[in-house]
Structure 1
């Protein structure tokens, strides 16, 4: 189930151009991270994948479907979307009801729904909170509820918007494991992230956006060693790469400065 974007332009109603001629292809099963400073167009780009946003010009095609010609409800069967703010997704009285909403709307049988909900709650560590009201939980846990709701839909494409924001180390490692599991199932994972260490460790392909345009599309090892492109995207290289560079390139004061800033 491929994603094909051709000459995508999107302008907000006030005339500001958020995306300016973006073209790319994401093949089934790829793990792709999208990075760039605030306002680069990252969220606007991925919101085209499930029809939340429609192109001003150009095309976005998901599994042969032109997203401009299909509703959000139709595209939900193909693309699961985790919002950056979980409070934009959660509405039910219990965690279980929120997680079950997607598979119910997709018409899965009761047995299949129960399996998907149970699996999603277990994957996110929320089994013991299944009967709690989502808004009794912390913001970080509400984000996990929203993640479980996306996982329970069992879509072939999963989009994460800043999945690690507000999460502690253990939660970040668990999200990484979830991405690995999705990859093993052959699903496509697309993530927006400001966490460059998470990006480098968990994705096969990195796209840098700047001013609504793609300036880098390469494996992380290539993307983060291109210093002019990293600077143009207003990003930092991952800590492990900075440490390697500090150890490889004297003087020793550089190493001390790096380690002091860790």
Structure 2
């Protein structure tokens, strides 16, 4: 089965703190999945188990039929790419181009293939004009795209983005949206941790809500954001339009501006 599977997976840190308990989740090829919940809910620990940075203390994590306990983190990273929230935790080369090329060169790919992968990663992230610069001499928001491009160049079937919209303006968020759609069109899965509910509603077919170390809901953005118990327990919020629709009592399960306009027009008989 081509999927990431968490089977009753738990993780306890060496100091005895249990971060997640009994997680059961399947993410299949080509899915776009947003993972939401308050800080401390266990989101980051859950995705780090998916790419082998953490090995489950209990249960199993299976990636395309491979148990992560049986492979090194480096081996699992060829299946599941992980982009850290802070690019400075990931970037270490002295030029943008060297950073993007690093893994393909480490894997001893042919020059033609390295060139193809780099060009594709640069195209998706829009960072062509920065290739010769030192990553630490460019803006933080652009540096985040350098970190993404470096992982894109490995062309893993699954990509995890940790808070990708943090520090991004509208243009950066638009690039992220196009990038996610392009990867899905190629049959690759994108899993994103984020507190940006508008970004979730606009870009993800499926939303997983976490709270208190557990998965508490799994469904569409509309199902998640209009379930008052899930919203309250996971301490997330609706989209701004959803909140306004609720306050004005002008429609059930509205998430988007065009839906609100349509509902208001309907009520006015237009």
- Quick check: TM above 0.5? yes
Cα deviation, 1:62-101, whole Å, max 9, x if unaligned, reads 0011011111221122111111111111001100000111
Question: Does residue 144 of the first structure (1) align with residue 128 of the second (2)?
Answer: no
How far is the alpha carbon of 1:245 from its aligned partner? Answer: 2.8
Q: In the alignment, what sits opposite 1:85?
A: 86
- TM-superposition CA deviations, 1:166-218 (whole Å, max 9, x none): 11111001101100000111101111010001001100110111111001111
Match of 1:258? none
Could you tell me which residue of structure 1 aligns to residue 16 of structure 2? Answer: 15
Matched, 1:192 2:187: no
Q: Is the contact between residue 77 and residue 106 of structure 1 (CA under 8 Å) also seen in structure 2?
A: no
CA RMSD for the aligned pairs? 1.3
Counterpart-to-counterpart distance in 1, 2:64 and 2:105: 22
Q: What TM-score comes out, normalization by structure 1 length?
A: 0.92
Contact 1:49 1:79 in 2 (8 A): yes
Q: How many residues align?
A: 250
Partner of 2:219: 218
Q: Which runs of 5+ in 1 are unaligned?
A: 251-262
Contact 1:106 1:153 (C-alpha < 8 Å) held by counterparts? no
Extract structure 1 runs of 4+ deviating beyond 3 A.
Answer: 246-250
| Aligned residue number for residue 50 of structure 1 | 51
In the alignment, the residues of structure 2 paired with residue 50 and residue 110 of structure 1 have an alpha-carbon distance, to the nearest angstrom, of: 27
Larger displacement relative to structure 2 (27-36 or 238-247) = 238-247
Q: Distance in 2 between matches of 1:97 and 1:190?
A: 26
| Pairing of 1:200-211 with structure 2 (within 5 A) | 200-211=201-212
* 2:93 is the counterpart of 1:101: no
What secondary structure is seen at the aligned counterpart in 1 of 2:142?
Answer: helix
SS in 2 for 1:191: strand
1:32 matched to which residue of 2?
Answer: 33
- Find the counterpart in structure 1 of residue 126 from structure 2: 125
Residues 103-112 or 200-209, more deviating: 103-112
Contact 1:10–1:20 (8 Å) recurs in 2: yes
Q: SS where residue 50 of structure 2 aligns? A: coil
Deviation at 1:249, TM superposition (A): 4.0
TM-superposed CA distance for 1:248, in Å, is 3.6
In 2: Cα distance, 1:108 partner to 1:194 partner: 37
Q: After TM superposition, give the deviation of residue 16 of structure 1 in Å.
A: 1.3
Deviates more, 1:98-107 or 1:176-185: 98-107
The CA deviation at 1:125 is 1.6
